[in-house]
C-alpha cells in the first residue's frame, strides 16, 4: 500500500514543475558561493573546504529549510483544494500511509536537491582548477544534511497539514531557521531540527563531527521524525477535516 | 478607495497583520540580541548606527520573504476562492483590483518598516545609548526600506496574481532573500543589478572592518538620491507592466 501511495503522490507532482523550484536553490548557492570563493582566494586558502563553506553557508543555514517548507506546503496544498481532504479521508487508506508517503516523497525530492548540490559543487571546484582531493567528510555532510532535511520535512508536513495558509508555513520555516541558528550559537545545535542541519552539513565548522555527537545526531533525528509523524498521524485519525 | 477598503474587509479574518508582526518579532529579537551582545563586549558600540546597520543587513534576507508571504496571502484568497471571475463580473476593472491589492500590501509592509523603526528606538533605550534619537537617520532608514519594499511588492504581486501556483511566488521570495543577503559579497556593479540588495545599499549607515573592528560611517542622503530615483522608476515600471499583463490575462 505504501508504494502505491508514494506513486500516487509522485503522480500528483507530475505536472507541477516542482523540479524547477528544487533546482533553483542549489544553482544559486553554488553560483554565488563559487563567485565569492573565486574573488577571495587570497583569504580562502583551503580549496574544497573553503569552497564548501561558501556554498553551504546560506544554503544549509536558511534556504534549504525554506525550500523544504515550500515543497511540503505544496504537497498538502493539493489536499486543501477542491474538497480533496474529504476524498482522501473516504479512501480506504490508513492515515499512516497518507503521511508517510508524503514524507518519503519529500525525502526523494531532497535526494535530488542534495545530489544536484554535490554535482554543481564538484563542477564549480573543477572549473576553478582546484587540484586537491574532494574532502573525505563530503559524503557525511551530504548524508547528514539529508537526514536533518527529512526531520524538517516531517515538521513542515505536519504544519502544512494543519495550517491551510501556504505562505504562513513558509514564514514559520523562516523563523525556525533563525531559532535554529540561535540554538547552534548557544551550543544546543543537536537538539533542534534546523540547527541539526547546520551541524550535520558542516555549514559553519567543517571539522569532523565526533562519534558521540554523531550518535546524538542520529538519535535526535529519529526521535523528532517518530514524534512528529505520530502526532500528525494521530491528528488525521482523531480530528475532523476542513475541506 | 472603496476597492481598497474592500481588500481590508476581505482579509479581516486572515490575521495578516498579526502573522506578519509575529514573524517580524523574530527578526527584531535577533537584532536586539546582536546589539546587546556587541555593546556588552565593547561599550563603544553603544551607538545608534549599530542597530540600524544590523537591521538593514538582516532585511536583505527577511523582507523579501516576508513580502512574498504578505502578497501571496492577499492574492491567494482570490485563487483559492475562485473569485476572480465573480469580481470582474461585478464591473470592477482588473487594474483597479490590482491597484487596491498593491496599496493594501504596501500599507502592511509600511507597518513593518514603522515597527522596525520603533524597535531600533526601543533597543537603543534599553542599551542606554547616550546620543539623542537620530530621527534623520531613522527617517532615511524608513524611506530606503519602504522604497525597496515597494519594488519587491510589485514583482511579487505580478507573479502571485499571474501564476495560480503560489510555490513560484514564494520561491521568488526565497531567491530574493538569498540575493539580498549575499549581494554585498558580489562586486558592486553586479550587486546593484538586483533590487533585493537595495535594503543594504540604501542604508543610512555604511560599515567597514579595520583591524577586526567595526567602523560605521553615516551616508549622506544626497549620495543615495540617484539610487532612490532608479527605484522609483522601477516601482512605476514594474507596477504598470504587472497591472497591464494581469489585466489582459484570461481568468
ipTM of the complex in this document: 0.88
Cβ contact (<8 Å) for A24 and B26?
no
What was the pLDDT predicted at A222? Answer: 96
Chain B contacts to A (CB-CB under 8 A): 14, 19, 23, 26-27, 30, 33, 61-62, 65-66, 68-70, 72-73, 76, 80, 165-168, 170-171, 173-175, 177-179, 181-182, 185-187
| Number of structural domains chain A divides into | 1
Percent of chain A with pLDDT over 70: 100
What was the pLDDT predicted at B43? Answer: 87
Sign for the CA dihedral angle at A80, A82, A83, A84 comes to negative
Question: Is the pLDDT confidence value at A242 over 80?
Answer: no
Compute, in degrees rounded to 10, the torsion defined by CA atoms B86, B89, B95, B96. Answer: -80
Question: Is the pLDDT confidence value at A176 over 80?
Answer: yes
User: Which residue in the set A21, A25, A62 is minimally distant from B61, CB to CB?
Assistant: A62
Which grid coordinates belong to B122? 526601543
User: Which residue in the set B23, B173, B182 is minimally distant from A32, CB to CB?
Assistant: B182
Cβ contact (<8 Å) for B69 and A24?
no
**A151-168 per-position pLDDT tens digit:** 999 999 999 999 988 889
Question: Is the pLDDT confidence value at A211 over 80?
Answer: yes
Sign for the CA dihedral angle at A173, A174, A178, A184 comes to positive
* Domain ranges, residue A37: 2-238
What was the pLDDT predicted at A238? Answer: 87
A176 within 8 A of A170, measured Cβ to Cβ: no
What was the pLDDT predicted at A104? Answer: 95
Query: Which chain A residue is nearest to residue B33, measuring alpha carbons?
Result: A182
Using DSSP, state whether A164 is helix, strand or coil: coil
List per-residue pLDDT tens for chain B, 251 residues long.
788 888 888 888 878 889 999 999 999 999 999 999 999 998 888 899 999 999 999 999 999 999 999 999 999 888 877 788 888 888 788 899 999 999 999 999 999 999 999 999 999 999 989 899 999 999 999 999 999 999 999 999 999 999 988 999 999 999 999 999 988 888 888 888 999 999 999 999 988 877 777 888 888 888 889 999 999 999 999 999 999 999 988 77
What was the pLDDT predicted at A205? Answer: 78
d(CA B167, CA A167) in angstroms, rounded, equals 9
| Number of structural domains chain B divides into | 1
Closest Cα in chain A, distance from residue B222 (Å): 30
When the pLDDT of each residue in chain A is averaged and rounded to a whole number, the result is: 90
Interface test with A, best of B55, B68, B182, B188 (most A CBs within 10 A): B182
Residue ranges in B42-93 assigned as alpha helix (H): 49-81, 84-89
A226 within 8 A of A209, measured Cβ to Cβ: no
- Name B172's Cβ contacts closer than 8 Å, sequence gap at least 6: B68, B155, B156, B159
Question: Is the pLDDT confidence value at A243 over 70?
Answer: no
Per the listing, cell 474529504 goes with: A86
Asked if the structure places residue A243 within a domain, the reply is no
Give the single-character DSSP code of A134.
Answer: P
What was the pLDDT predicted at B237? Answer: 97
- Give B5-26 as a DSSP string: HHHHHHTTTTTHHHHHHHHHHH
Confidence of residue A173 (pLDDT cuts 50, 70, 90): very high
Amino acid at each position: 500500500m505504501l508504494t502505491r501511495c508514494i506513486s500516487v503522490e509522485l503522480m500528483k507532482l507530475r505536472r507541477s514543475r516542482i523540479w524547477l523550484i528544487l533546482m533553483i536553490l542549489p544553482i544559486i548557492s553554488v553560483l554565488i558561493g563559487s563567485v565569492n570563493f573565486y574573488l577571495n582566494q587570497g583569504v580562502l586558502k583551503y580549496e574544497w573546504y573553503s569552497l564548501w563553506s561558501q556554498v553551504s553557508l546560506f544554503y544549509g543555514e536558511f534556504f534549504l529549510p525554506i525550500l523544504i517548507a515550500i515543497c511540503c506546503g505544496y504537497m498538502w496544498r493539493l489536499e486543501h483544494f477542491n474538497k480533496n481532504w474529504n476524498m482522501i479521508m473516504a479512501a480506504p487508506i490508513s492515515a499512516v500511509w497518507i503521511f508517510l508517503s508524503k514524507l518519503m516523497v519529500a525525502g526523494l525530492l531532497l535526494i535530488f536537491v542534495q545530489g544536484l548540490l554535490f554535482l554543481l559543487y564538484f563542477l564549480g571546484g573543477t572549473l576553478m582548477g582546484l587540484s586537491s582531493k574532494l574532502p573525505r567528510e563530503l559524503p557525511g555532510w551530504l548524508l547528514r544534511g539529508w537526514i536533518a532535511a527529512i526531520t524538517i520535512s516531517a515538521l513542515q508536513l505536519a504544519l502544512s497539514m494543519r495550517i491551510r495558509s501556504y505562505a504562513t508555513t513558509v514564514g514559520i520555516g523562516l523563523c525556525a531557521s533563525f531559532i535554529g541558528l540561535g540554538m547552534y550559537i548557544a551550543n544546543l545545535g543537536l537538539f533542534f531540527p534546523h540547527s541539526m542541519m547546520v551541524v550535520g552539513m558542516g555549514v559553519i565548522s567543517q571539522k569532523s563531527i565526533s562519534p558521540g555527537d554523531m550518535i546524538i545526531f542520529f538519535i535526535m533525528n529519529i526521535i523528532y521524525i517518530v514524534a512528529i509523524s505520530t502526532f500528525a498521524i494521530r491528528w488525521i485519525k482523531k480530528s475532523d477535516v476542513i475541506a | 478607495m472603496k476597492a481598497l477598503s474592500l481588500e481590508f474587509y476581505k482579509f479581516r479574518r486572515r490575521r495578516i497583520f498579526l502573522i506578519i508582526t509575529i514573524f517580524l518579532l523574530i527578526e527584531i529579537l535577533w537584532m536586539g540580541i546582536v546589539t546587546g551582545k556587541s555593546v556588552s563586549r565593547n561599550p563603544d558600540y553603544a551607538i545608534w548606527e549599530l542597530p540600524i546597520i544590523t537591521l538593514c543587513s538582516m532585511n536583505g534576507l527577511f523582507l523579501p520573504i516576508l513580502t512574498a508571504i504578505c502578497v501571496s496571502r492577499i492574492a491567494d484568497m482570490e485563487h483559492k476562492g475562485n473569485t476572480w471571475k465573480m469580481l470582474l463580473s461585478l464591473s470592477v476593472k482588473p487594474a483597479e483590483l490590482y491597484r487596491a491589492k498593491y496599496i493594501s500590501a504596501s500599507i502592511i509592509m509600511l507597518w513593518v518598516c514603522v515597527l522596525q523603526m520603533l524597535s531600533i528606538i526601543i533597543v537603543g533605550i534599553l542599551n542606554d545609548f547616550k546620543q539623542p534619537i537620530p530621527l534623520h537617520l531613522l527617517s532615511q532608514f524608513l524611506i530606503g526600506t519602504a522604497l525597496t519594499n515597494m519594488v519587491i511588492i510589485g514583482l511579487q504581486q505580478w507573479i502571485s496574481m499571474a501564476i495560480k501556483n503560489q510555490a513560484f511566488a514564494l520561491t521568488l521570495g526565497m531567491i530574493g532573500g538569498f540575493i539580498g543577503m549575499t549581494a554585498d559579497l558580489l562586486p558592486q556593479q553586479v550587486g546593484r543589478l538586483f533590487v533585493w540588495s537595495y535594503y543594504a545599499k540604501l542604508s543610512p549607515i555604511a560599515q567597514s572592518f579595520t583591524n577586526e573592528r567595526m567602523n560605521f560611517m553615516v551616508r549622506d542622503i544626497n549620495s543615495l538620491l540617484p539610487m532612490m530615483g532608479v527605484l522609483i522608476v522601477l516601482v512605476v515600471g514594474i507596477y504598470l507592466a504587472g497591472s497591464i499583463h494581469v489585466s489582459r490575462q484570461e481568468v
